[in-house]
Copies of this chain bind each other. A is one copy, B any other.
Amino acid sequence: MTGRRGRPPKDADALSRDRILREALALVDEEGLAAVSMRKLARRLGVDPMSLYNHVDGKDALLDGIAEVLLAAIPAPPAEADLRETMSALAHGFRAAMLGHPRAAPLVLTRQLASMTALTPVETVLAPLLAAGFPPDRAVHGLRAVLAFLIGTLMREVEAAPTFSGTDPDGARRRLAELEASGLPAVSAAAPFLAVCDHEAEFEFGLRILLDALGAMAVR
C-alpha cells in the first residue's frame, strides 16, 4: 500500500537504523522507557539482538537516536512572524512534539544531546533574536532561560517531575483529602489548587512572563 508507485521499497523489512529507531519509539510509546531493552526490541523486529549493533552503537546511542527523532518533529516557525510569534510558535511546537510521545519525552528533556539535530532548533530560536537586534550574549541568555522553563514545565507535564497533582479528576479528590490532612497550614489552604494542575494554563502563564521579559530586554 505504501510507496506502490513511487520509489520502490527495496527491502521494506530490511534492518536499518531508521527502522530500528521507529520500532524503538513505538516500544517506548506502548510500554514506557523502563521496558526498553535491546533484546526485546530485537524480538519485535524478528532479529537477533546482536544484529542491532550493526546499525546502532549500543543502547545509549539508541536512546539518543529516539530523542533526535522527537526533536526532528518540531516544525519550523512561519517565516513572516515577528519575534514574539516565532518564539511562541517554537515553544508550542516543542511542547507538541513532547506531548506526542510523553513516555519518550524524558529522553529529550534529561539527556545531553550533542548532535546536529539538536543544533537546528537552537538556530531557529537564535536567528530571530539576533534579527531583532539582541546582542549574541543576551540572545543566548534568553534562549537558555526559556529552554529551562520549557524543560521544567514539560517534565512535570509528562509526569516525570514532582507536581503534587495530576489531571485525573477522581485521583484529585483523594489528593485533596491528603493535602488537607497534611497539618501544614499553607498547603491546606491552597489544597484545592494543589490537587489539580491545568498544564496548558501553567505553560501559557510561564511562557508569557518570559516572553514579556525578553521583549523588555530587546527594548532596553
Interface residues in chain A, defined as those with a beta carbon under 8 Å from any beta carbon in chain B? 106, 108-114, 116, 118-120, 122-123, 126-127, 129-130, 136-137, 139-141, 144-145, 147-153, 155-156, 159-164, 179, 182, 184-187, 189-190, 192-194, 197, 202, 205-206, 209-210, 212-213
**Residue contact B152 to A122, C-beta cutoff 8 Å:** no
Which listed residue, B111, B136, B160, B206, touches A162 by the CB 8 Å rule?
B111
- Can you name 21 A-B pairs with beta carbons within 8 Å? A110-B110, A113-B162, A119-B182, A119-B184, A122-B187, A123-B184, A126-B186, A127-B186, A130-B186, A136-B189, A136-B190, A139-B186, A140-B193, A141-B193, A141-B202, A144-B197, A145-B205, A147-B156, A148-B206, A151-B152, A151-B156
**Residue contact B152 to A147, C-beta cutoff 8 Å:** yes
**Residue contact B213 to A162, C-beta cutoff 8 Å:** no
**CA A192 to CA B140, docked complex, whole Å:** 10
**Residue contact B193 to A136, C-beta cutoff 8 Å:** yes
**Residue contact B202 to A130, C-beta cutoff 8 Å:** no
**CA A193 to CA B149, docked complex, whole Å:** 20
A26 to chain B, nearest CB (A): 23
Which listed residue, B111, B120, B186, touches A160 by the CB 8 Å rule?
B111
Which listed residue, B140, B148, B184, B186, touches A149 by the CB 8 Å rule?
B148
**Residue contact B119 to A190, C-beta cutoff 8 Å:** no
In the bound complex, residues from chain B placing their C-beta under 8 Å from that of A155 are 109-110, 148, 151-152, 155
**Residue contact A190 to B148, C-beta cutoff 8 Å:** no
**CA A197 to CA B150, docked complex, whole Å:** 18
Residue of B nearest to A156 (CB): B148
A13 to chain B, nearest CB (A): 33
**Residue contact B164 to A202, C-beta cutoff 8 Å:** no
Which listed residue, B114, B145, B147, B161, touches A110 by the CB 8 Å rule?
B161
